[in-house]
Chains A and B, each alone.
Chain A
Amino acid sequence: MAEVIRYDFGAGAPQTVLQGFEKTPAAGRFALTLAPGAAATVYVLQDEPSVARLDAEYEVTLAEGASLQMIFVALSGAQISNRVRIALQGPHAECRLGGLYLPSGDQQMSFNVRLSHDVPECYSSQLFKGILRDRAQSRFDGLIYVAPDAQKTEAYQANHNLLLSTEARAEARPQLEIYADDVKCSHGATVGRLNEDELFYLRSRGITAEEAARLQQMAFVGEVLEMVSDSALRDSLTARVLTRL
């Protein structure tokens, strides 16, 4: 087993970690600990040659009042697997997860997320979106766990997939395990295709079928890219995503 790489975030100024950019690894085992009041943003870019196999594992704990935003952008790799375990262990901890995956060819990408609300009054949201072409496959397993005394929990999860070919396959398995009664939780998953009405509307204005499909894909992924608050980083990620559409 690979050595665990640790990040300890203390209270104070928000910190940003870029995984998979230039020299930092896009895969491996990571343990992230957020101390009370810590704030961190973690970006994980997975853009590897299409023979590469990537396994990433994240074990994350958040103490009271800690806040984490974590965004995955999986663009290329023969087989990419992300296993994410997040535990909200102190009240008022907040976690926002975003994910984008764009497998093509025979690529397979998967996310396995377990987000547990161990204590009351925490917030979590998850938004994972995938566009699949050719014979690509994806799988999203997402579990929201709410402990018996984790009252006033707010937890949201969404997974949406766009299939661009008849052979692509997306599996979505959202799960809720809720043992508290005073909670606000929602989850939803969809697997769909480009909207024909929208395509016709765009084309009727002279936009080519290819460009219309690109506009729709950009619109689809935009919601996740908008989570990237650093505008220079957002622009560079958007440009990278665009080359894949």
Chain B
Amino acid sequence: MLTVKNLHASVGEKEILRGINLEVHPGEVHAIMGPNGSGKSTLASVLAGRGTFTVTGGEILYKGRDIRNLTPEERSWAGIFLGFQYPIEIPGVSNVNFIKAAVTEHRKQKGLPELSAAQFLKLMKEKMAIVEMDSSFSGRAVNVGFSGGEKKRNEIFQMAMLEPDLAILDETDSGLDVDALRIVATGVNRMRRPDNATVVITHYQRLLDYIVPDFIHVLYKGQIIHTAGKELALEIEEKGYDWLINK
């Protein structure tokens, strides 16, 4: 599904990703861990096509196709979803209009007709239920005045609406209390299919108790320095990252 080969990316003169290799197959869950500032969010942003970062080397193959020149919206249509570490607030645009615009464009790209208002509301209700989000959030401006946890639920709600093939969830667990974490994780698990894949970026082993990864990668200074199975999370929880960095 996703093959990242020797990926280098910079902001201005500053190189942040320094040769990333990653292979994700359908049905898999990958976790990316690593200390703050190691480049996890940058990797997620680069995969989603954020213009702030320049890819200076390497390849990103998604479903066999080089996506480096695709716009963020083209990547979204192709099935890539980024759950933001810091979801953006958009004053003046309601959550319902936002997600409606997104779903309508996705359907248009697939050659499907626009959903009727009733169909759309039904779909929205169903997907909001997955993350136990109250319907009052529909009319509110996107993420404005949402608590940290509400923003993260809103990300997973959007994911549920768009049904991506590759979801990259950047610290979706941060700012969540235990109940919200369980709700969000259960939501993500319910969306898993044999033909889609999930990359979760996290600091904490506790999320991985719910969303069990097939692989854990440790990112440090723009490179993946270690890859192992799910048991690595516990080891990191106990020993930190130093033993991996100094290896």
Q: Does B96 contact A (CB under 8 A)?
A: no
Return B100 CB to nearest CB of chain A, in Å. Answer: 10
Q: A209-B71, A211-B105, A222-B92 are in contact. Are A204 and B76 (CB under 8 A)?
A: yes
Residue of B72, B77, B109 contacting most chain A CB atoms (<10 Å): B72
B88 and A205 contacting across the interface, CB-CB below 8 Å: no
Q: Which secondary structure dominates chain A's binding surface? A: helix
- The stretch of A55-63, A131-139, A194-202 that contacts the partner chain: A194-202
Q: A204-B72, A207-B101, A215-B101 are in contact. Are A198 and B90 (CB under 8 A)?
A: yes
Q: For A200, give its contact among B50, B91, B97, B106 (CB under 8 Å).
A: B50
B73 and A209 contacting across the interface, CB-CB below 8 Å: yes
Q: Which residues of B sit under 8 angstroms from A203, Cβ to Cβ?
A: 49, 71-73, 76
Q: Which residues of A sit under 8 angstroms from B88, Cβ to Cβ?
A: 197-198, 200-201
A200 and B98 contacting across the interface, CB-CB below 8 Å: no
Q: For A206, give its contact among B50, B87, B109 (CB under 8 Å).
A: B109
Q: Does B17 contact A (CB under 8 A)?
A: no
- Which residues of B70-86 are within 8 A (CB) of A? 71-73, 75-77, 81-82, 84
Q: Which residues of B sit under 8 angstroms from A200, Cβ to Cβ?
A: 50-51, 72, 88
A219 to B49, CA, bound (A): 25
Interface string of B6-39 (1 = CB under 8 A from A): 0000000000000000000000000000000000
Q: Which residues of B sit under 8 angstroms from A197, Cβ to Cβ?
A: 88
Q: Does B212 contact A (CB under 8 A)?
A: no
Q: Does A208 contact B (CB under 8 A)?
A: yes
Q: Does A220 contact B (CB under 8 A)?
A: yes
Interface size class of B (residues with CB under 8 A): 20 to 34
A204 and B162 contacting across the interface, CB-CB below 8 Å: no
Return A241 CB to nearest CB of chain B, in Å. Answer: 13
Q: Which residues of B sit under 8 angstroms from A211, Cβ to Cβ?
A: 101, 105
A215 and B98 contacting across the interface, CB-CB below 8 Å: yes
A196 to B52, CA, bound (A): 9
Interface size class of A (residues with CB under 8 A): 20 to 34
Q: Which residues of A sit under 8 angstroms from B76, Cβ to Cβ?
A: 203-206
Interface string of A205-228 (1 = CB under 8 A from B): 111110100011011101100000
Q: Which residues of A sit under 8 angstroms from B84, Cβ to Cβ?
A: 201, 204
Return B153 CB to nearest CB of chain A, in Å. Answer: 16
Residues of chain A at the chain B interface (Cβ within 8 Å): 196-198, 200-209, 211, 215-216, 218-220, 222-223
Residues of chain B at the chain A interface (Cβ within 8 Å): 48-52, 71-73, 75-77, 81-82, 84, 87-88, 90-93, 97-99, 101-102, 105-106, 109, 141, 158, 162
29 contacts between A and B (CB under 8 A): A196-B51, A196-B52, A198-B88, A198-B90, A200-B50, A201-B90, A202-B98, A202-B101, A204-B48, A204-B49, A204-B75, A206-B102, A206-B106, A206-B109, A206-B162, A207-B73, A207-B98, A207-B101, A207-B105, A208-B105, A209-B71, A209-B73, A215-B90, A215-B97, A215-B98, A216-B92, A218-B92, A219-B91, A220-B92
